[in-house]
Amino acid sequence: MNPADTSDLWWRTAVFYCLDVQTFQDSDGDGSGDFAGLARRIDDLSALGITCLWLMPFQPSPDLDDGYDVADFYSVAPALGDLGRVVETIRIAHDRGIRVVMDLVVNHTSDRHPWFVAARRSKKSRYRDYYVWRDKPPRKAQPTVFPGEEATTWELDERTGQYFLHSFYRHQPDLNLANPEVRAEIARIIGFWLKLGIDGFRVDAVPYLLTTAGAPNEQDPHSFLRELHRFVGRRAGSAMLLGEVALTHEEQLQYFGESAPELDLQFDFVASQTAFLCFARGEAEPLARALAARPQVDVSQGWAMFLRNHDELSLALLTDDERQEVFDAFAPDPDQQVYGRGIIRRLAPMLDGDPRRLRLAYSLLFSLPGAPVLFYGEEIGMGELDTSFVREAVRGPMQWDAGRNGGFSTARASRLTRPLPTGGYGPEHVNVNDQRRDPDSLWMFISELISRYRSTPVIPWGRLKVLDSGDRRVLAHECSSDEVTFLAVHNFSPEPVTVELPGWDAGREITVLLDSSGHTAPDLAAPDEAGRVRLDGYGFRWLKSAPPPTDHD
């Protein structure tokens, strides 16, 4: 399909930027970030080049899971602002050409949500059936997502003598999707935020949402996702659903929808986890294999590519040995690991702050077909907090400048929602302000990547082909349309390498889009006549080839 025909599929080529309003910018000195602060920072994000914000939950919440425990779907946590501020922020973002999507957390509610409060009052409550109840926990209960923090997924409600399902924490009772009234509530929530200008949703915990855990539900659970997709399309034609489905590529296919569309975009957890295995090994081969096997999806759907997100870096899709390799390389201290499957560190410290490795990682992210997703602070290589913060160790305040509290807030340090890191990753060393003035900074590099990505639409739209680089250390992949071919080569090892890509677009005009060594002259960076490409340790190169110009005289 010609990209020009697909301009309303904006999410296929978006550059997402995930942030938590609470830790981004405080405007009133109370120690918590807020919408007024975020609104002031939109120009900084626009300068970086991102095209879509993903806002982590900002609704009222007891905050026992950093807002993923919503107590009221229709308003805003008072410390963050009010609906007026939300709408103003959306308007400012739209004005700069930036779309705004938000988390939709409807697998569960907080146990303080009025529905649950009413539901647990009596078995006869009209809200009882909004949740999933059993007289006894099923013999084969689903395992908890948070081993070590929770022992089971069923909690006894003393007052009514029944157990309720909680796939996550016990204070997050699962909603009962089999109940049509619950489905109608979810539609109303979506309709509400779409009317306020939201452009789509990052749908939290989709497989759990669809699992009715043995609830008497004869329907195909995917019927709900199909309904949701149709509903979003009817209410706002260009809104989209980006789903969190942390499964294998094959398993993800059913969430794109078999008979009718379901999710528009899904995070590529396989690529992300495999990339870390490659970084650990200094080899590209596992990622080459995973990408070559990644199924084709409909042109209207796609993958959201990421390296780190707000959660632990889960390695659940790797084998036990592979996971151990990644732990050994990047989280040797057991305190840096969580749930037996993940790492609670940010990327920059995991890669020892090595600019060559960081650039390799982000070059890879932006060169893979899909929509890249950045987690706030990645653009400056922010570090993590103390491991006692567990998953929240990666959710420290944004570091804007070298001043007090990194420019995040004027409050006393003890009043901040979370502290800032100290030492080499503290704001005096790592901040946006300094990096925007330094041509060699990570911020500058990421802004260049974003601009290259945005001006090379064949990356997200093209056909992916993994080439045989003949060297386990090097990933060579192409994204091509009928006219243009994009080639990226990435050397995951510290040693310089020369790979041969014979015949790579011989006779065509080659443009060098990006090169880790700083050469952009074709004679230095393009493959030679034998198709040989030389790369430094952790080096990479992006090339574009097009047919030679024709003579139209």
Q: What residues make contact with ligand GLC under the rule CB under 6 A?
A: 65, 68, 105, 168, 204-205, 244, 311
Q: Which ranges constitute the DSSP H helices of 429-502?
A: 432-436, 442-454, 458-461
Residue with tokens 């399902």, as numbered in its chain: 165
Q: For residue 5, what are the contacts with CB-CB under 8 A and spacing of at least 6?
A: none
Neighbours of 345 (CB within 10 A): 22
Torsion of CA 173, 177, 181, 184, to 10 degrees: 110
What is the C-alpha to C-alpha distance for residues 176 and 217, in angstroms, rounded to an integer? 10
Q: Which is nearer to ligand GLC, 63 or 88 (CB)?
A: 63
Residue with tokens 């952009």, as numbered in its chain: 520
- At closest approach, how far in Å is the CB of 168 from ligand GLC? 4
Q: Which is nearer to ligand GLC, 205 or 291 (CB)?
A: 205
Q: Which is nearer to ligand GLC, 104 or 284 (CB)?
A: 104
Q: Which is nearer to ligand GLC, 52 or 476 (CB)?
A: 52
Q: Is 244 a catalytic residue?
A: yes
Tell me phi and psi for residue 15, to 5 degrees.
-110, 105
Q: Residue 229 corresponds to which tokens in the numbers above?
A: 């997709």
- At closest approach, how far in Å is the CB of 22 from ligand GLC? 13
Q: For residue 315, what are the contacts with CB-CB under 8 A and spacing of at least 6?
A: 273, 276, 322, 323, 326, 327, 341, 342, 343
Catalytic residue among 204, 312, 392, 505: 204
Q: In this structure, are residues 303 and 263 in contact, taking their beta carbons and an 8 Å threshold?
A: no
Taking CA atoms, 211 is separated from 69, 270, 316, 371, in Å, by 19, 21, 19, 27
What is the C-alpha to C-alpha distance for residues 484 and 511, in angstroms, rounded to an integer? 11
- At closest approach, how far in Å is the CB of 412 from ligand GLC? 28
- At closest approach, how far in Å is the CB of 70 from ligand GLC? 9
Q: In this structure, are residues 101 and 200 in contact, taking their beta carbons and an 8 Å threshold?
A: yes
- At closest approach, how far in Å is the CB of 193 from ligand GLC? 17
- At closest approach, how far in Å is the CB of 84 from ligand GLC? 27
Q: Which ranges constitute the DSSP H helices of 131-248?
A: 180-195, 206-210, 222-235
Catalytic residue among 174, 244, 268, 285: 244
DSSP symbol at 107: S
Q: Which is nearer to ligand GLC, 149 or 227 (CB)?
A: 149
Q: Rounded to 5, what percent of the chain is helix, strand, coil?
A: 35, 20, 50
Q: Which is nearer to ligand GLC, 204 or 379 (CB)?
A: 204
Find the residue with minimal CB distance to ligand GLC: 68
Burial class (CB in 10 A: 0-12, 13-18, 19+), 150: middle
The length of the chain is 553
Q: Which is nearer to ligand GLC, 182 or 358 (CB)?
A: 182
- At closest approach, how far in Å is the CB of 375 from ligand GLC? 11
Q: Is 528 a catalytic residue?
A: no
- At closest approach, how far in Å is the CB of 460 from ligand GLC? 24
Per-residue exposure over 80-95, b if at least 16 CB sit within 10 Å of its own CB, e if not: bbeeebbebbbebbee
Q: Which is nearer to ligand GLC, 248 or 498 (CB)?
A: 248
Which residues participate in catalysis according to the annotation?
204, 244
